[in-house]
Structure 1
Amino acid sequence: MRILAIGPRVYLGDIYLALMREGHEVCVHAEDRPEERAFDGLIETVPDWRQELPWVGRDGIILFERADRGEVADALRRDGYRVIGGSAFGDRLENDRAFGQAVLREHGLPMAGSQAFDGPAEALAWLARASGRHVLKFDDSRLPTFVGEHPDGLDLAYMLRRAGPGRVLLQERLEGVEVGVGAYFDGRRFLRPACIDFEHKRFFPGEMGEMTGEMGTLASYEGGERLFEATLGRIAPRLAEAGHVGYVNLNLMVDERGPLPLEFTCRFGNPGFAVLAAMQREGWGDLFRRMAEGGTEGFATTPGWSVALVLTVPPFPAVDHAATPADDVPLFYREPPAANELGHYHPVDLRRDAEGQFLIRRRSGHAMIVTGTGATVGEAQGAARTRARNVIAPEMRWRSDIGERFLQGEGDRLRALGWID
């Protein structure tokens, strides 16, 4: 099968390497500067993806990495191409937070309190009248969420004064179990099973430090059917009407009132793609084909749990735009992964030089994701930690407590409330 991948950078390069190992032909277009490109020396790129349309044809698959090319994806589908990665509707669900909340409300889901504003100044004026703990979110998904702690909202006010122009959302600060439910959509229906996932966004163990893109995830394809049917499953008719094809995740906060939706992700997330890949038996090519063709209700998964750990070096979670290739950091293995182990090592912002040395891009410091699976959360944690210790890089760090929140009470609370098996 031929696959044409398009994105701002080679964000999903690990998926492309996996597809090549499965025997598929992959062509990649990236918009960033070649000298800064991830997977340089591992994946060749092309300058103009439109010139590759005759190559991929209408029997191949076109993949968009990000949630801002939905109109282009929709137009290609109307021209008969098979496209994965979103739709204009999916883009708006993720990027226009007020719209996403409105769609959820229309489908009868209980909602956390929220207020949308055209800019930080309006939000700051509202906060002066309604002080308290709130969560600050931006329509620009590249900007990190801020979770307010001060009872009078003083820390949140500081962040709003620092924020640049653009729409923001202030959401009620909830005290419950944060859990995501996700599934692949084939244009007509969700493929089953759905997954449940528990993201760990704080930089340090014990949920301390700044919010990052993500430091690790616990996930399973078992036990989340009731949660799926009560939340994300209700949106299927709207996604089908829009012709959406791709992964959709709905982040929730669960308490005694039930699951309260927080936000959509309508693209392949990172490290979300890796934590799920470890439990998808037939690989990405099979899954892409099922999404593109439609007509199948499910796909094969492994039971139990998967844990993903994000390995980083400085300046992560910041970005150093002044970093050059000469600043890149070498990465080594204690023991080179065997062929059957490669699927648990997922490079992110990595390149390989002419001598074959792997180098982490100092620009981001976002080195790699490693995964582990097991019948229990503890077994999955142990397998992931073993693989993380097999990776060596100067100044490398990673969280060793991914999944501990679930073991220390979140799992019991969700079971007591009747939301997971």
Structure 2
Amino acid sequence: MLETPNPDLDAITAELDQRHVFHSWSAQAALAPFVIAGGRGSRVWNHEGTSYLDFSSQLVNVNIGHQHPAVISAIQEQASLLATIAPATANLARGEAAKRIADRAPEGFNKVFFTNGGADANENAIRMARQFTGRDKVLSTYRSYHGNTGSAVVATGDWRRIPNEYATGHVHFFGPYAYRSDFWATTPEQESERALQHLERVILSEGPASIAAILLETIPGTAGVLLPPPGYLAGVRELATRHGIMLILDEVMCGFGRTGRWFAFDGYDVVPDLITFAKGVNSGYVPVGGVVISDPIADFFNDRVFPGGLTYSGHPLAMASIVAALDTMASEGIVENAATVGREHIGPALAALAEKHDIIGEVRGEGVFWAVELVADRATRQPVSAAVMGRIKRELVARGLLPFLADNRIHVVPPCVVTPEEVAEAMAIYDEVLSLDLI
């Protein structure tokens, strides 16, 4: 907490923000920015000293929690040694960061290409797949978000794609979503089978020899924490292999502890050709992302120039933060904590809320990666309105909880360091708000 609260700074901060900062995905005039002055662990606070339990992890990226001293110290030490360096040079922090990431990837992944974030990680993974296969098309799902750069935003399936469709060669298909099945499925197994049949039809209709890659979030995050049903990812892998298509798994949101595993795909019978990451690899303390490259694709560029690069690829401050974050997550059992808290506390507590509140249509998730789908009617599964979600957000914040809301869902996504006591505190707030007359 702040040693000396200064409420005037909240007003100054808000005024400066409204006057000079242009915000993403927003109509600017309607904004009322939420001021954050500091944070530690699973909590943030404003200049007045009002504290909030952060169950958003900001944009589902502060996996190690706010202001972890080991990561802050590593950034400070690197800044005093060498603050920046060109990507064509060799740097110890960069090599150590790449090694730690490769060590946690499946066997046969030894090279890492660093980017500035998740969007350009997906951008460059697409480029690698196109270069490697000599093909153009990229298949991705309608319920997805892959970032806001040229190809990544067009690979995205949600509404943000539509005003930005300037890249070419992108095709979308429907992935599994058992609660709102597009395939009239009644079981997870049926959903998986029918979703795979649909994907195969799309592949054959588009022409397999024209498809460079299938790009999937291992677990779609912003789209609803949609856990893949049994056999789905393995089935996608088989289809990709059969047709010489590269499988890119987007682990930007779900990777590095979020599911209680280092990579989300570790819980499924699948190994991709390219892995994209960002967010949790260093909890966003310094902007960074990247692509973990399987050996055949990496070897392809041994004698061919890779046509891509970034001025800040492998930035030393970001690299130092990765090394410290991954080492600390390992030594402090932070990934294991996410698994335990999800299994023993978050999951059971959300199930109890679903039993109590008719507004909850479904709860799904694992680790510290959950979605609570809210409905106006359980029988019809009609989503609650935007007005209801707006009121829920206001009520949660008023009670000291910073939420992550998307469409008709509350995403329960605290840092991986969250404690059982903090989970209980958050669940009491959710319970109180969902007890209100909201509809």
TM-score, normalising length from structure 2? 0.30
Structure with greater proportional helix content: 2
Higher strand share: 1
Structure with the larger RCO, 1 or 2 (CA within 8 Å, 6+ apart): 2
